[in-house]
Amino acid sequence: MTRCNKLPDVGRRQFPKGGAFAAAGMAIAVAAQAQTKTKTAPGLALVEYPSKRLANLGDLKPNEPLDVSYHDSAGPDCDIVGFSTTCPHKGFPLNYNADDPPLNCSGQYSHFDADAGGQQIWGQSTANIPQYALRIDAKGEICAEGVDELLYGRLSNVL
């Protein structure tokens, strides 16, 4: 049997070089393709939240939660925060208590700290309470403009 002299002699040492070059080429191509996609369409994780008027600053009193449809509660330091009032564990309603901790699950008793961004501090829940991003305009109108976590029982925060 005769050997073809026109084929390059690709030994074991040379093969990884070619493989690495091919892999590097693919990574660049994938990165370039992903970059092109981000320019043409927003990522699926980005959600546009509607701005919704909730109340006026004059409507708020310290340690008295105000029930609104997009959400509630003002702190003792005059900070204004808004949280979902549904427990992220199984969906029981949360009770507001001006004593520490202020938000407690009425069903299975998890406690959440509004001063720490709705962090779960005790109980069966493994998630924090979704917190709303609030904006207050020059007239004192309080508007909710986003949520930092998925609301309980929802596949999307914006329907």
With CB under 6 A as the contact rule, which of the stretches 25-33, 56-64, 68-76, 88-96 interacts with ligand FES? 88-96
The rounded distance, in Å, linking the Cα atoms of 147 and 117 is: 12
Residue 84 contacts ligand FES per CB under 6 A: no
Q: Which two tokens stand for residue 153?
A: 């029982």
Q: Is 125:151 a contact under the CB 8 Å cutoff?
A: no
Residue 92 contacts ligand FES per CB under 6 A: yes
Residue 123 contacts ligand FES per CB under 6 A: yes
Residue 104 contacts ligand FES per CB under 6 A: no
DSSP strands (E only) in the chain: 52-56, 82-83, 94-96, 103-105, 111-113, 119-122, 131-136, 141-147
Pick 68 or 87: Cβ nearer ligand FES: 87
> HSE of 7 in the Cβ direction (CA atoms, 13 Å)?
6
Pick 52 or 119: Cβ nearer ligand FES: 119
Give me the residues that bind ligand FES (CB under 6 A), please: 87, 89-90, 92, 105, 107-108, 110, 123-125
